């Protein structure tokens, strides 16, 4: 996969088909656009190119009176998902406050025309340029005189709900993991390095890996306990993860992610772990004692093991 960080490095090639977007989540709606991009490129012998942005525009233009923006994927994760979906060329534009002020028409002339293209494919709600003033209609004005094709891809629905990054973020924050995973087309994951914790889980019989997400604005699902899986040393391991403030033990200020892997006791300190979320078990609860917490974790563990047993049985039947 060719990754370009500067538009000057992208060879001009008129025989190209482009798409533009932030693609947070690289979900099923995005995959519909990507699939069309790749099929057109193959059918017409064109170069395919994805134009995306980093940082995410919402992070840069976020108003101070609005809640902090958290994202489904880091840039690195997005790139891995792009490659997995067959993308061959990507231009990553440095999205700055100055860049956000570029007029839509100037973006077309100073960026898209510099790359060259015969066709551009966009999502149904895509906007671009200063104050999101650019749209399909803006491109149509240029297409008529400069002879390029535009295709707009309609919304992709799951159970009559339009799939979008915003919808998926809300589902994750509401702990609706199964529904979010169905819209993503893969298991939502958090990747990060295992750090030293306070060892409180081990003190009550449930050692945990305390994982710091790779980026500060990585979205974490809603506070609670989840069934998760990780590939460690080439082997799949299941566990129960807690996201929250650990009110019984420490009552933290910032939420943490800690995972207790089932039937696994290797020291994972300083390793980078990918935690994939499978199922929500329960909300985070403040218990009156560590003994009550340990009793509940044992129940969580039993529930997780039953779920995993059925999951493995179902997979064997497929």
Q: What is the CATH number of the domain that holds 303?
A: 2.40.30.30
Q: What is the mean pLDDT of residues 91-97?
A: 97
Distance CA 57, CA 100 (A): 8
Question: Given 149, 258, 271, 317, which residue is catalytic?
Answer: 258
Q: Which domain holds residue 20?
A: 2-162
Report the CATH number that the domain containing residue 107 is assigned in CATH.
3.40.50.620
The full DSSP string for the chain is -EEESSGGGSPP-SSEEEEE---TT--HHHHHHHHHHHHHHHHHT-EEEEEEEES-HHHHH--TTSPPP-BS--HHHHHHHHHHTT--EEEEEE--TTGGG--HHHHIIIIIHHH--SEEEEETT--BSGGG-B-HHHHHHHHHHHT-EEEEEPPPEETTEE--HHHHHHHHHTT-HHHHHHHHTS--EEEEEEE----HHHHTT---EEEEESSTTB--PPSEEEEEEEEETTEEEEEEEEEE--TTTT--SS-EEEEEETT-----TT-EEEEEEEEEEE-----SSHHHHHHHHHHHHHHHHHHHHHHHHHHHH-
Residue 189: strand pairing partners: 276
Q: What is the mean pLDDT of residues 233-244?
A: 95
Same domain membership, residue 235 and residue 140: no
pLDDT tens, residue by residue, 259-284? 999 988 788 999 999 999 999 999 99
Q: Which of 43-47, 77-81, 127-131, 309-313 bottoms out in mean pLDDT, i.e. has the lowest?
A: 309-313
pTM for the structure as a whole: 0.93
Q: What is the CA radius of gyration of the chain?
A: 22
Would you say residue 290 has pLDDT above 70? yes
Q: Is 313 a catalytic residue?
A: no
Say how many domains are in the chain.
2
Residue of 209, 197, 186 lying closest to 249 (CA atoms): 197
In residues, how long is the chain? Answer: 318
Same domain membership, residue 222 and residue 124: no
Residue 248 has a pLDDT of 65
Same domain membership, residue 222 and residue 98: no
Whether 180 is covered by a domain: the verdict is no
Q: What is the mean pLDDT of residues 27-42?
A: 98
Whether 169 is covered by a domain: the verdict is no
226 vs 318 pLDDT, higher one: 226
Task: Answer whether 60's CB lies under 8 Å from 96's CB.
Answer: yes
Same domain membership, residue 129 and residue 7: yes
């Amino acid at each position: 996969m060719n990754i370009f960080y500067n538009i000057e490095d992208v060879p001009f090639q008129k025989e190209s088909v482009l798409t533009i977007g932030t693609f947070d989540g690289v979900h099923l709606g995005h995959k519909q656009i990507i699939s069309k991009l790749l099929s057109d490129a193959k059918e017409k012998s064109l170069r395919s190119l994805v134009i995306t942005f980093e940082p995410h525009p919402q992070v840069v233009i976020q108003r101070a009176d609005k809640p902090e923006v958290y994202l489904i994927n880091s840039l690195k994760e997005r790139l891995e998902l792009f490659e997995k979906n067959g993308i061959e060329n990507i231009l990553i534009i440095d999205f700055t406050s100055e860049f956000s002020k570029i007029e839509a028409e100037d973006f077309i002339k100073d960026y898209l025309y510099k790359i060259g293209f015969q066709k551009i494919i966009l999502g149904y709600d895509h906007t671009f340029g200063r104050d999101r003033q650019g749209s399909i209609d803006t491109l149509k004005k240029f297409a008529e005189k400069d002879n390029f094709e535009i295709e707009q891809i309609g919304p992709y629905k799951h159970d009559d709900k339009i799939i979008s990054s915003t919808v998926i973020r809300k589902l994750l924050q509401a702990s609706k993991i199964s529904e979010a995973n169905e819209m993503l087309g893969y298991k939502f994951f958090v990747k990060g390095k295992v750090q030293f914790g306070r060892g409180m889980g081990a003190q009550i019989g449930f050692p945990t890996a305390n994982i710091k997400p790779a980026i500060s604005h990585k979205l974490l699902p809603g506070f609670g306990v989840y069934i998760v899986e990780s590939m460690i040393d080439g082997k799949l391991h299941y566990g129960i993860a807690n996201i929250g403030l650990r009110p019984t033990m420490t009552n933290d200020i910032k939420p943490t992610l800690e995972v207790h892997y089932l039937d696994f006791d290797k020291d994972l300190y300083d390793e980078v772990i990918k935690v994939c979320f499978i199922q929500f078990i329960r909300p985070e609860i403040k218990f009156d004692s560590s003994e009550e917490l340990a009793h509940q974790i044992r129940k969580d563990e039993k529930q997780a093991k039953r779920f995993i047993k059925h999951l493995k049985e179902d997979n064997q039947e497929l």
